[in-house]
């Protein structure tokens, strides 16, 4: 009868929403029973949808990732210069930080399945590869190392809730700007401060 029920029953949605809300409020301590109650279903029902706590968390994480994946796909990263694309990525990521926050408080690494991780990373890998091809990046670090550094910066900033100190836009801009300037090829190799030169030799 109910025709246009999205594939995953509203029940699943209700559960995920409830779980997200509860986790956001009370952190990792929420019990399965509480989630079930908050979703208006019995404990056992919860277990038919998500066979264990981890799977619930994982699904929640996938949910968030899916959203990110969608936004990244819609961002038209391929059509703009690398720098601008990176700026968009930062804005999107920081913009989602609030939702992320709840999950991150619960479990640092909620074990997103590989496939999801791959989908999430794919556009970034492509973007950084393009940067490499276009000679945007400095030569001493590979594009994959740079991607790692960028991800580290991003996740670290989200973990530190940088956006709640600076505001979303400024935080995204700071991240983008710092990374870009730090990772950019030095076009004009003029005289540089001696301190850094010695460090550069460390490479």
What values do phi and psi take at 35, rounded to 5?
A: -60, -45
Footprint of DNA (CB under 7 A)? 1-2, 9, 11, 29-34, 40-45, 47-49, 51-54
Minimal distance, residue 11 CB to DNA, in Å: 4
Residue 188 as a binder of its own copies (CB under 8 A): the answer is yes
CB of 11 or CB of 107, closer to DNA: 11
Q: Is 36 helix (H, G, I), strand (E, B) or coil?
A: helix
Which span sits near its own copies by CB under 8 A: 10-18, 30-38, 71-79, 80-88?
80-88
Instruction: Please give the Cα distance from 148 to 90 (Å, whole number).
Output: 14
**Cα separation of 201 and 194, whole Å?**
11
The DSSP secondary-structure symbol of 99 reads: H
112 binds its own copies (CB under 8 A): no
Pattern 125-154, its own copies, x by CB under 8 A: -----------x-x-xx---xx-xx-xxxx
Determine if 167 is a binding residue for its own copies (CB under 8 A).
no
The piece of 37-45, 50-58, 116-124, 191-199 that touches its own copies (CB under 8 A) is 191-199
Distance CA 50, CA 44 (A): 10
Regarding 162 and contact with its own copies (CB under 8 A), the answer is yes
- Judge contact between 94 and 158, C-beta under 8 A: yes
Q: Give the Cα-Cα-Cα angle 146, 152, 158 (nearest 5 degrees).
A: 140
Tokens 């640092």 -> residue: 108
| Buried-exposed string 150-159: b where 16+ CB fall within 10 A, e elsewhere | beebbeebbe
45 versus 197: smaller Cβ distance to DNA: 45
Find which of its own copies, DNA, none residue 167 binds, CB within 5 to 8 Å per kind.
none
- Summarize as ranges the residues that interact with its own copies (CB under 8 A): 80-84, 87, 104-105, 108-109, 136, 138, 140-141, 145-146, 148-149, 151-157, 159-160, 162, 165-166, 169-170, 173-184, 186-188, 190, 192-196, 198-200, 202-203
């Amino acid at each position: 009868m109910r025709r246009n029920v999205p594939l995953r029953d509203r029940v699943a949605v209700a559960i995920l929403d409830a779980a997200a809300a509860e986790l956001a409020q009370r952190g990792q301590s929420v019990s399965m029973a509480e989630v079930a109650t908050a979703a208006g279903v019995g404990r056992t029902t919860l277990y038919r949808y998500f066979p264990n706590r981890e799977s619930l968390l994982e699904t929640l994480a996938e949910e968030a990732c899916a959203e990110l994946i969608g936004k990244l796909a819609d961002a038209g990263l391929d059509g703009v210069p690398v720098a601008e694309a990176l700026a968009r990525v930062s804005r999107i990521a920081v913009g989602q930080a609030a939702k992320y926050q709840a999950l991150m408080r619960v479990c640092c690494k909620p074990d997103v399945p590989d496939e999801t991780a791959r989908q999430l990373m794919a556009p970034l890998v492509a973007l950084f590869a393009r940067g490499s091809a276009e000679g945007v990046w400095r030569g001493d670090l590979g594009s994959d190392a740079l991607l790692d550094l960028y991800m580290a910066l991003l996740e670290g900033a989200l973990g530190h809730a940088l956006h709640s100190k600076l505001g979303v836009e400024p935080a995204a801009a700071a991240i983008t700007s710092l990374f870009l300037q730090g990772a950019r090829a030095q076009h004009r190799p003029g005289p540089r401060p001696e301190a850094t030169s010695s460090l550069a030799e460390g490479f």
